[in-house]
Amino acid sequence: MKSFLLCITLALTLHIQAQTGFNTEGFEVTKQDIELNVYEKDSTANALVIYEIGRSFVDRETFLLKTEIKKKLKILNRNGFEKATETVYLYVKNGKKEKVSKIKATVYNIENDKVTRTKLDKNSIFKEQYNENYTLVKFTFPNIKEGSVINYSYTIESPYFFKYKSWYFQEDIPKLHSEYQPSIPGNWEYNIKLVGGKKLHTNESSLRRNCLQVPGAGSSDCGDYIYVMKDIPAFVDEEFMTTSENYMARIEYELKVFRGFDGRVDNITKTWKSVEGELKSDNNIGRQLKKSGITKGLLSEDIISKSNPLEKAQAIFKYVQNTYTWNESFNIFNEVSVKDLVQNKSGNVSEINILLHNLLKANAIDVKPILVSTRNNGLATKIYPVISDFNYLIVQATIDGQNYLLDATDNYLAFGQLPFRCLNQYGRLLDFKDGGYWVDIEANQLSLKKHQVRLIIENQTLKGSISTKSTGYHAIKAKKRYFNNPDSYLDSFVNSNTTTQFLEHDSQTIDQTNPEFSETFRVEQSLDNVGDNFYINPFVITFFDENPFKLQQRTYPIDFGYSDAYIYTAEINTEGYEVIEIPRTTRVSLPNKTGTLLFNASKSDNSIIIYFKFNFKEAIYGSEYYDALKQYFASIVDIQKNSLIVLKKKQ
């Protein structure tokens, strides 16, 4: 009897537990699915994928790649209504195109304590042209309310096999169950890449015989796979990261080998040696790199006659930088013409930097092109050559054993600096003679921002000056803001500071390619007083006004792009005042000596000296540093906001 009662109790407990959450076992919509409007693991979520499955396979009759997608989506609140519209991107090229069919959707709500169902009207499905390569099909679910649950499905047909259908386990909303079931015929061999670093809950495979047959030609077996992830957090973009495509959990396929039923074998994925052989004769890369004739007569005698190789290279770089304008096109493999650049004085990345390459080479500088994928484009795979991964071209010049990475598209760069967009870890150097290799793409120096402040007290007002020096990428940011509109530069400080008045500004930097930017401000700030005490915050200008890190957990790296340091010093003349209190000394370190913070205040007879320094010794920190960096920034913001000096006027 006791055993029977125990079983009943356990059954009731399991039943109650099952009713406290979403149904993650399939597409059946329960009343509980509709009534629950909070996801406990992420209270900020506005919508939630409860269950989804994708199935990809080659159709036995049409030999098209088909992908059947089915999802159960929960709308948690009004902010989740944007998820009530689904957009399908269909690829179109060379007369072939993808198609979508069998679009179905049912929206479940509770009205008068009963579950209602509203089906998608076919008139709510729209098609539009996105660009020359993509058509969009959109459909919006009907009768959406807070709490709605939507079951929807559709099928995509594709004639393209070079990229088997990718599957995103992760999106910008959480998912409880995401499953992908690809079936891959043996004729097609793919490089398979699991991106994002998240572990699969299920990873199963099996062999199915004769899944495809061609009468009179033969048959093919299929590898059937099941991949499942569960309890997948939403991917949330945050500052100091490259594109989310580098880190969002998904599975991708790149065609490696195709075997025809007639015995033909096509090796789609090539070696870098074969790729470089193709690029060498390519009209847009290799042949443009050989066009030395177009460079004749472009350089002045002053440049050509320079005997020092470094000075000559710097002069050539500056000539290209000042003479030719980048049209902001990243089109590095199509319609590249150095001749057109010379005639029009404007061109894309490849044209400008290939001209730089050819001019340097014509003047006996050892130079090589480097293919780069920019930060917004994602990391290029190193496993095998994928030329489409690259969207940028820069130049490496080697002078007296020193390598300089060059890009002449930006008028604010010093010789040897790259635009911030290029700081994406590595690139592929092309050497058509000895063979190319991977090279590190890094900032060539530490970036520094330093404020030196001098203040005096007059009529209960702080008055003084700020001398600022910026180097590296901090200097580039400041130069662009200043030289683009010097007249409004001071206004940007005036408008962004509520406590400090910025009255005058002067820049000591004239050349916008100078690696340093120096400037001075005249400032004023009223003293706060309570009773007989006066309060001064010594930070009349700040480095960070708020903590950029706000997530509970970050699963992708913190990518600053470059290492840097910040220094703030202030000398406050306190003549006529008694110093009651100064801020306490603070020291903070990042793990493994990758950053240190020091804040110190000291006083003498008539002055207070403030010293504040912090740095980031690494350009990229792994996600395991997130909590430490979050606390580090919290200390930086707290010191700047809450460091107070207390004074009392001498009698």
Predicted confidence at residue 28, as pLDDT, reads 96
Of 544, 525, 557, 575, give the one whose Cα is nearest residue 640.
Answer: 544
Tokens of 425: 């870890």
Write b or e for each residue in 514-543: b if 16 or more Cβ atoms lie within 10 A of its Cβ, otherwise e.
ebbbbbebebebeeeeeeeebebbbbbbbb
Following CA atoms 625, 628, 630, 636 in sequence, which dihedral angle do they give, to the nearest 10 degrees? -130
Residue 10 banded pLDDT, cuts 50, 70, 90: very low
For residues 439 and 370, the answer to whether their CB atoms sit within 8 Å is yes
Q: Quote the strand ranges of 233-304, DSSP E.
A: 250-259, 265-267
Percent of the chain with pLDDT over 90: 79
Q: Hey, where are the domains in the chain?
A: 24-266, 272-441, 447-649
pLDDT per residue as tens digits for the range 43-75: 899 999 999 999 999 998 888 999 999 999 999
Of 385, 294, 410, give the one whose Cα is nearest residue 342.
Answer: 294
pLDDT per residue as tens digits for the range 365-415: 999 999 999 999 999 999 888 888 999 999 999 999 999 999 999 999 999
Give the architecture (CATH level 2) of 24-266: Sandwich (2.60)
Of 166, 170, 141, give the one whose Cα is nearest residue 156.
Answer: 166
Residue 335 banded pLDDT, cuts 50, 70, 90: confident
Predicted confidence at residue 218, as pLDDT, reads 80
Write b or e for each residue in 239-257: b if 16 or more Cβ atoms lie within 10 A of its Cβ, otherwise e.
ebbbbeebbbbbbbbbbbe
CATH 3.40.630.30 matches 272-441: no
CA distance 367 to 395: 7
Kindly tell me if the per-residue pLDDT of 135 is higher than 70. Answer: yes
Contacts of 262 (CB under 8 A, 6+ apart): 217
Tokens of 275: 């790729």
CA distance 637 to 633: 6
Distance of CA 611 to the CA centre of its chain: 34
pLDDT per residue as tens digits for the range 177-211: 999 999 999 988 998 999 998 999 999 999 999 99
Kindly tell me if the per-residue pLDDT of 8 is higher than 50. Answer: no
Q: Which residues pair with 454 in a beta bridge?
A: 465, 571
Predicted confidence at residue 16, as pLDDT, reads 36
For residues 58 and 183, the answer to whether their CB atoms sit within 8 Å is yes
For residues 645 and 536, the answer to whether their CB atoms sit within 8 Å is yes
pLDDT per residue as tens digits for the range 411-427: 999 999 999 999 999 99
CA distance 161 to 165: 8
| Higher per-residue pLDDT: 345 or 295 | 345
Q: Is 215 exposed, middle or buried (0-12, 13-18, 19+ CB in 10 A)?
A: exposed
- Which bin fits 310, alpha (ψ -120 to 50), beta or left (φ > 0)? alpha
Predicted confidence at residue 72, as pLDDT, reads 98
pLDDT per residue as tens digits for the range 222-250: 999 999 999 999 999 999 999 999 999 99
For residues 180 and 69, the answer to whether their CB atoms sit within 8 Å is no
Kindly tell me if the per-residue pLDDT of 438 is higher than 80. Answer: yes
Residue 634 banded pLDDT, cuts 50, 70, 90: very high
For residues 612 and 598, the answer to whether their CB atoms sit within 8 Å is yes
The model carries a pTM of 0.88
CA distance 543 to 538: 13
Of 596, 598, 594, give the one whose Cα is nearest residue 624.
Answer: 594
- Up-side HSE of residue 45: CA atoms within 13 Å toward CB? 27
How far CA 604 is from CA of 309, 451, 572, 649, in Å, comes to: 53, 21, 10, 16
CA distance 437 to 366: 16
- Residue 3 is which amino acid? S
For residues 111 and 43, the answer to whether their CB atoms sit within 8 Å is no
Report angle CA 199, 203, 205 to the nearest 5 degrees: 160
Q: Comparing 24-266 with 272-441, is the CATH topology the same? A: no
Predicted confidence at residue 14, as pLDDT, reads 40
Query: In the sheet where 501-507 sits, what is the strand order?
Result: 501-507, 516-526, 461-471, 447-458, 564-573, 607-616, 596-603, 586-589
CA distance 586 to 599: 5
Percent of the chain with pLDDT over 70: 97
For residues 582 and 645, the answer to whether their CB atoms sit within 8 Å is yes
Mean pLDDT of the chain: 92
Contacts of 20 (CB under 8 A, 6+ apart): 32
